[in-house]
Amino acid sequence: MEITQHKLAIVTGGGSGIGLAIAEKFVQNNIRTVIIGRDQQKLDNAKKNLGELCDPFSGDLNELDAIPGLVKKIIDKYGRIDILVNNAGINLKKEFTEVSDEEFQKILLTNVTAAFALSREVVKYMLEKQTKGCIINISSMASQYGLPKVIAYTASKSAIEGMTRAMAVELSPKGIRVNCIAPGFIATDMSAKALNNDPERKNKVLGRTPMGELGQPSDIGDAAVFLASGNAKYITGVVLPVDGGNSIGF
């Protein structure tokens, strides 16, 4: 067993985009970070860039039966888990009437059920070891106001925010803080593809964002570091928009 003296964080979907930015900020703050994802190449590239405090674990969180074993593997290797960031998620852009039951359930499985199952297994360990732990869920502007053609994604992110509050009231008395970050429109490869191909949508996004620009993935990373740190020791159950004012813009 490799007992680590560093705090240990798990970031799901940590191989790219916002997850990678969160992992990068954790590593910069001397937190050993396990990134979980399905794409081994992305994970390996992330490890190369982030260095020795980053460790990739390949796994599909939709395989719910495998989650307890995955958490045990991490505990057996490092001896601790202090922080969990539930970032992994998938989207589906489709007309409301064309979304099938199977598609809806797949989004909920990845974005909600897997996050719940992983949190449950990590919390079991934290309670057993009496760890003063921290869980950060990642939501979306889709849960702050209505967006067309993303019904399943919206339902999943609204569920994540409700889960955050329910987890916080149950777990905070036991020393585990639970918070949520709701990113606005962030300049990732995925958003660039969507917005650059749709100038009207891009103008609408920027027009209702008081700060007048897209956020950077590092902005979400900074928020995660804050919520995971002692500076946020009296904060639990909040949904923090990191959105340049988008959710209150007109």
Q: 196 lies in a domain?
A: no
Task: Name the residue range of residue 66's domain.
Answer: 8-186+216-241
Q: What is the mean pLDDT of residues 96-104?
A: 98
**Mean predicted lDDT score pLDDT of the chain:** 95
Residues 49-65 pLDDT 10s: 999 999 999 999 999 99
Q: 89 lies in a domain?
A: yes
pLDDT of res. 134:
98
Active site residue 145: no
Domain count, the chain: 1
Residue 47 sits in a domain whose CATH number is: 3.40.50.720
pLDDT-derived band at 2, boundaries 50, 70, 90:
low
Q: 161 lies in a domain?
A: yes
**How many C-beta atoms surround the C-beta of residue 4 within 10 A?**
16
Residues 149-177 pLDDT 10s: 999 999 999 999 999 999 999 999 999 99
89, pLDDT greater than 90 = yes
pLDDT of res. 117:
98
238, pLDDT greater than 70 = yes
Can you give the chain as a three-state secondary structure string?
Answer: CCCCCCCEEEEECCCCHHHHHHHHHHHHCCCEEEEEECCHHHHHHHHHHHCCCEEEEECCCCCHHHHHHHHHHHHHHHCCCCEEEECCCCCCCCCHHHCCHHHHHHHHHHHHHHHHHHHHHHHHHHHHHCCCCEEEEECCHHHCCCCCCCHHHHHHHHHHHHHHHHHHHHHHHHCCEEEEEEECCECCHHHHHHHHCCHHHHHHHHHCCCCCCCECHHHHHHHHHHHHCHHHCCCCCCEEEECCCHHHCC
Catalytic residue among 78, 125, 145, 153: 153
Q: 206 lies in a domain?
A: no
Q: 210 lies in a domain?
A: no
Share of the chain above pLDDT 70, in %: 98
Q: 156 lies in a domain?
A: yes
Q: Look up the pTM and report it.
A: 0.96
